[in-house]
Structure 1
Amino acid sequence: MARTVARVIVDALAELGVGQVFGVVGDALNPLTDAIRTSDGVEWVGCRHEEVAAFAASAQSQLTGGLGVCMGTVGPGSVHLLNGLYDAAKSHTPVLAIAGQVPLAELGSDYFQEVDNDALFSDVAVFRATVTSPEQMPLLLETAVRTAIGRRGVAVLSVPGDIGEKELDADRQSRFSLTMPTTRPDGDAVRAAAALLDRSERVTLLVGRGARDARDQVLALAERLAAPMVLTLKAKEGFEGDNPFQVGQTGLIGNPAAASSLQEADTLLLLGTDFPYRDWYPEGATVVQVDTEPTHIGRRVPVEIGLVGDVGVTVRDLLAELSGTSPGGGDARDRGHLEKAVEHFESWREGQARLTAPDHDKGLIGRVRSALDNREHAIRPEALAAAVDRHAADDAVFTSDTGMATVWLSRFVEMRGTRRLLGSYNLGSMANAMPHALGAQLLDRDRQVVAFCGDGGLSMLLGDLMTLKTYDLPVTLVVFDNRRLGMVKLEQEQSGLPEFGTVLDNPDFAAVATSLGLTGIRVTDPADLDEAIRTALATPGPVLLDVLTNPDEIAVPAKPTVQQGWGFAVAKMKEVVRSHGDDSSSD
């Protein structure tokens, strides 16, 4: 029996192990969604916004390493996919987007809703093509999928509305066999890097997501070099738990121990990271970089030796060449640099932990601090993040919105056990936490999924709370409800500007969730926080935990500058003056 173009695509997705396809139904997609309706292996997940669909597909791809799939119909439907697809592209994860298109005969006629998809997706996609004949299938589909997987990116296949239902004259089974290569650097370069590391007295590792599959080798290297390990945010997963060398993150979300261990190093070894913030690299250090992508070598910081290869293979080769002795000729390397960094990190963590106590503001230091930054005694976001960490499962999947929710997760949630972490950490989009959680939960309904949502991010795509309800997905949405665009507020104040345009007129999110059929829990008292989190995580089905947090909480950067301090002080003075002026004008 001859198959249609739509049936060929859906059968191929099932063969690839794609469990869900995310999107919004409509016109050109009708043949495809009908093929999914009659498919045994693929589930259609109808979202309320195509951006959510693309984020969810990206999440599934990142968690499984396989192909995520989303669909958008003609014109506006496909346009709405863009932000989520950029998230996938910047996360280097394979996603296939099926985009509807106007009937073939109308292409180029400025038809109703017509958009040039090949131009629209030209920047975000590693492959894009429009199906113009059934005879192009399944070859065009195979090419799209292989390109997405092989180049770890987005492929877009546009299907005109009158093409999906056409039958193939010569049908065959789709074939997707693809073996990814393992690369290793030149042996002379490895020996040169090993000799350089042997001569170095203070080595610090900056470890990224690209090293995740080489945990054992990287830990062995840190031991051999007596090197503290600074983690990028995406390397928390896989390297944070049970790691005596790690000293947390650097950058604006980081801590002073990580910043110091970088600045005090004479040699910096980058492993599987393209950490973009140049201001946070040490000055004067010699840099060795390991990355599978040649274009990443040296594009953030000048590199003495660049090793192009897989981190696991390269580190094994380095370990075989390292002497293990001290630069001065002793039998063992001096561990002072490592011990100082770890001690600094533990001291910082102890200080941070004091902020998480429910009665923090009742103590002497807490009363003094709260008089300045928490006069209403709102719940501190540090306490919220730490409490979620205590109660969440050791195999939970965490997602976080870009902004302050990510800061608190970075500092107070440990990726121990088999926990996973997702966020828009390369694109930096708002509103990703809930859609990422949606995609993650559909992979395993029995696994705990916790989304750290900013109130600004959640409200941006609020409609898809209904998708969680429709599919009865037991996601726990933790809303950091500070009635602000918190990161923007902090950026303004550190620059000496008064807060402007960041105040959010929020509803009672728990009441909104309840009205939509979810379980809604609202917390306003620090004393109720622990029990509320315990209840939220234990409640079946989707739960929204709306926690009113302190809008004036300050996340001090890892190496605060005098300029930032003065800027913050000036901004606060301007805010006070403006506030007093507002009060007098209303009398």
Structure 2
Amino acid sequence: MTSEALVERLADWGVDTIFGIPGDGINGIMEGLRRHRDRVRFVLVHHEEAAAFMATGYAKATGRLGVCLATSGPGGIHLLNGLYDAKLDHAPVLAITGMQETSVLGTNYQQEVNLDRLFEDVAEYNMMITNPTQLPTLVDLAIRTAYARRGVAHLTIPNDIQVADADADPWQHVVPARPPQTAPIYLSAPGRPREEDLVRAADALNAAKRPALLVGAGALHARAEVLAVAETLACPVIKTLPGKAVIPDDSPYTTGGIGLLGTRPTADLVDDVDVLFLVGTNFPYTKHLPEPGKARFVQLEADPARAGTRVPTDVPLVGDAREGLMALLPLLTPRSDRTHLRKYQEKMEAWRSDMAALASPDRDPIAPQYVVSVIDELAAEDAILTCDSGTIATWAARYWTIRGDRGFYLSGNLASMAPGLPYALAMRHAYPDRQVIAYVGDGGFAMLMGEFLTAAQQGLPIKVVINNNNSLGQILWEQMVLGYPEHGVRYPEPPTDYSAWARACGGYGAKVTKAGDLPSAMTEAFAYDGPALIDVDVDPDEPPMPGRVSYEQAKHFAQAFLRGEPHRAAIATTLFKDRIAQL
């Protein structure tokens, strides 16, 4: 049967897990999975969007192909948001969907959606299989493309093809479309940059007076090499949010994050640097990078199409981050003058002190900063934290400390709501011996909360901490920064008690409204032998302030107050308390 050939081919490529929901458009594929359940595990979820997020999270955490499966029509449509997350963050994912029988295509049959057309923008490789003899070749090409281009591949298979004999060829092709039995490729890194480019990069970095590194997700496997370059050049290291785990947060070299979620020392450094070395990042927010002409740029990028797309790059290096840095190190001149580095080490000491003051357990309502500080204190040294988009990304960026083998994952360029919980399930499947914590907002959790039931039914001991401000917090502050009073972003009181849902699912659930109760509740949740959820009511008026407030931001914030911001008294009080805590 063709579906058996599909599953066997996937297993030959090392696929061991597929996330999805059955449907009448993929019953043949489900039978293939049943017959080969000893080789490929099918993870039944509660929403196809979550299945796509799980495949993406699996790929991000392991570097291996993530696979999701959905039925024809609405099932395939539901995959799209999670697949765009994979596309924008360059994660290798294969989406498999069903399709109506070939004899009824084009007749407006029930649930007939041209998924191959729908997926044209999201997929690097996108095909409908219409002949069983196509399948081995097309599966190989799809997987090769997903790995090679670090993106999404999509195969849709009509019902009648799924159940046809794997060798059926009604048109009797003279040359069978079977590929050679080539070993899987594209699993290795892009390789070493050209020698002449390495020399040019070394010359630029050696000549710099105030260099800095900006590292991203493409350098997650190159921690030792990044630290070695920072030591040799005596320079600070800035981290993008997806690249937060490249080096530890307590490293003497890092100034933390960049941009709106970044630190004040990084904002100062960006204005001061004369050569910025970008490693494994295509950071899109150019207004937070040095102004071209005032600084030079060196970039080490795996994809030649992305080298120099954000800023005019003086020296583009194309290659793997680890191999490139290893090749570059012998060409760098060790710098004895550490004045530049010490300046930013002192700035980071002051910044860390300010941030610690805001994470006080004495504040009422509970400060969201305190919630993450408790997670950080109680989590294991190799824990993985997954995060949703929104204000929680700011708190995670500043209070989740990378040390040891800790990991951190979120939807980077898509910045979608709701991936935190599906990511956690996928990563627990990938790393069954590691603690996995989903730190999510109430808005994002509500979107895919059915996946907590998935965790309970499958006995996955993930831990979920909800930052419940009973609002769409990030949009609230974005409206105000534009000069508008908030509108349509707060849910009616009282805040929802999601711990009741957790208990109804058969897991641990606790509602926390007082800071003093948080450490004990979280300790119990982390020790619970199964999925656990802590729903924490936090101060909804705590603003995620940027590391350095610009004049325009302050002006628009004030305009929102003058135009009738309905919660201006509470917000002003919170800001006053923040300042007192820092002083």
Query: Taking structure 2 as the reference length, what is the TM-score of the superposition?
Result: 0.91
CA drift of 1:501 comes to 0.9
CA drift of 1:409 comes to 0.7
CA drift of 1:41 comes to 1.9
2: distance between equivalents of 1:238 and 1:579? 39
1: distance between equivalents of 2:500 and 2:189? 52
Asked if structure 1 preserves the Cα contact closer than 8 Å seen for 2:217 and 2:281, the reply is yes
Amino acid at match of 1:448: Q
Asked if structure 2 preserves the Cα contact closer than 8 Å seen for 1:445 and 1:474, the reply is no
Paired residue for 1:337?
340
CA drift of 1:436 comes to 0.7
CA separation of 1:229 and 1:472: change in aligned 2, threshold 3 A:
same
Deviations 1:235-258 (A, max 9, x none): 211312563211100100001011
Paired residue for 1:18?
15
Matches within 5 A, 1:125-136: 125-136=123-134
Provide the identity percentage: 40
Deviations 1:416-448 (A, max 9, x none): 111122110121111110111111112233321
From 96, 102, 118, the equivalent of 2:94 is 96
Paired residue for 1:486?
473
Matching of residue 246 in structure 1 with residue 254 in structure 2: yes
Matching of residue 178 in structure 1 with residue 181 in structure 2: no
Matching of residue 447 in structure 1 with residue 457 in structure 2: no
Deviations 1:2-28 (A, max 9, x none): xx1111111223333323211111112
Paired residue for 1:123?
121
Deviations 1:229-278 (A, max 9, x none): 00111221131256321110010000101111121111111111101101
Secondary structure of 1:343's counterpart equals helix
CA separation of 1:412 and 1:382: change in aligned 2, threshold 3 A:
same
Paired residue for 2:356?
353
Matching of residue 291 in structure 1 with residue 298 in structure 2: no
CA drift of 1:50 comes to 0.3
Amino acid at match of 1:94: P
2: distance between equivalents of 1:577 and 1:388? 32
Paired residue for 1:83?
81
Paired residue for 2:505?
516
Paired residue for 2:53?
55
Paired residue for 1:314?
324
Secondary structure of 1:252's counterpart equals helix
Secondary structure of 1:162's counterpart equals helix
From 416, 421, 425, the equivalent of 2:412 is 425
Asked if structure 2 preserves the Cα contact closer than 8 Å seen for 1:122 and 1:128, the reply is yes
Paired residue for 1:232?
240
2: distance between equivalents of 1:387 and 1:22? 32
Amino acid at match of 1:208: G
Amino acid at match of 2:100: V
Moved more, 432-441 or 513-522: 513-522
Asked if structure 1 preserves the Cα contact closer than 8 Å seen for 2:456 and 2:531, the reply is yes
Moved more, 529-538 or 161-170: 161-170
Paired residue for 1:541?
530
Moved more, 223-232 or 308-317: 308-317
User: Cα RMSD over matched residues?
Assistant: 1.9
1: distance between equivalents of 2:568 and 2:358? 28
CA drift of 1:173 comes to 9.7
Moved more, 163-172 or 429-438: 163-172
2: distance between equivalents of 1:146 and 1:448? 32
1: distance between equivalents of 2:296 and 2:2? 56
CA drift of 1:450 comes to 0.3
CA separation of 1:174 and 1:397: change in aligned 2, threshold 3 A:
farther
Moved more, 569-578 or 54-63: 569-578
How many residue pairs get matched?
A: 554
CA drift of 1:188 comes to 2.7
Asked if structure 2 preserves the Cα contact closer than 8 Å seen for 1:248 and 1:254, the reply is yes
From 104, 108, 130, the equivalent of 1:110 is 108
Moved more, 440-449 or 140-149: 440-449
Matches within 5 A, 1:144-543: 144-169=142-167, 175-179=182-186, 180=188, 182-241=190-249, 243-283=251-291, 284-324=294-334, 332=336, 334-359=337-362, 361=363, 377-505=364-492, 506-543=495-532
Asked if structure 2 preserves the Cα contact closer than 8 Å seen for 1:12 and 1:174, the reply is no
Secondary structure of 1:99's counterpart equals strand
Deviations 1:158-212 (A, max 9, x none): 1101111111228999655215464333323322222222221110111112122
Segments of structure 1 that go 5 or more residues without pairing to the other structure are 326-331, 362-376, 581-587
Matching of residue 28 in structure 1 with residue 21 in structure 2: no
Amino acid at match of 2:332: L
Asked if structure 1 preserves the Cα contact closer than 8 Å seen for 2:483 and 2:556, the reply is yes
2: distance between equivalents of 1:209 and 1:216? 15
From 563, 568, 571, the equivalent of 2:557 is 568
Secondary structure of 1:520's counterpart equals strand
2: distance between equivalents of 1:139 and 1:421? 36
Paired residue for 1:64?
62
